[in-house]
Amino acid sequence: MSFKETFFVFCDRERLMPDPQKASSIDSLVETFCIVVALPMEKFHLYHHQLDTMKNPEEAHARRGTPWTFDLAWLLTFLKTLRTQGSVYMPSFNHGIGDPVEDDTFVSLQHKVVIVEGNYGFFEKGVWKEVSSMFNEKWFIKDVIDNIMERVLKKHISIGKPLDVA
């Protein structure tokens, strides 16, 4: 099986090695068994400085996370490179500053499955249609909105946002 054949499964490092004190001593062992990599689409958000240059920067910042606030060219380049070459650097996302960090994580040939997590995997408008066509499988996971909002709130609080802003 290769990336070209499957897109969605999860690798949970914590389940493989729940003791954080032991984790650093066997990182290479855990990495050997981790054939799955998760790629949240938030890693491809437009940067704040890009939103600042839009026609209505205030709206762009307020609506960040909507389909037009992603760098789809960057996401497509990543997916196409991964599909053709089998390995590529991908961004991470720094929640403290609220922006992607380029080339922060390496997806290697050992990663046989890539999970692309986000709200727009089924979106078929504009460039999103091409992004959507890159996936071998698409799964929709339904959750109760209250659960989703609670997770978002916890994430925002964990990065230091005040409760009234989070």
Give me the pLDDT at residue 56, please.
Answer: 96
Q: Residues 98-118: pLDDT tens digits?
A: 899 999 988 888 888 888 888
**CB distance 27 to 10 below 8 Å:** no
CA distances from 135 to 15, 26, 47, 87, 127 (A): 26, 32, 25, 16, 14
d(CA 159, CA 94): 9
Give me the pLDDT at residue 148, please.
Answer: 81
Which residue numbers in the chain have pLDDT < 50? 1-30
Give me the pLDDT at residue 14, please.
Answer: 38
d(CA 125, CA 7): 21
Record the tokens describing residue 89, joined without a space: 């650097």
- pTM, two decimals, is 0.71
Give me the pLDDT at residue 33, please.
Answer: 59
| Alpha-helix residue ranges (DSSP H) falling in the chain | 13-16, 20-23, 27-33, 48-52, 57-62, 72-85, 127-133, 145-158
Domains parsed from the chain with CATH numbers:
13-141 (3.40.50.300)
Any idea what DSSP says for residue 4? T
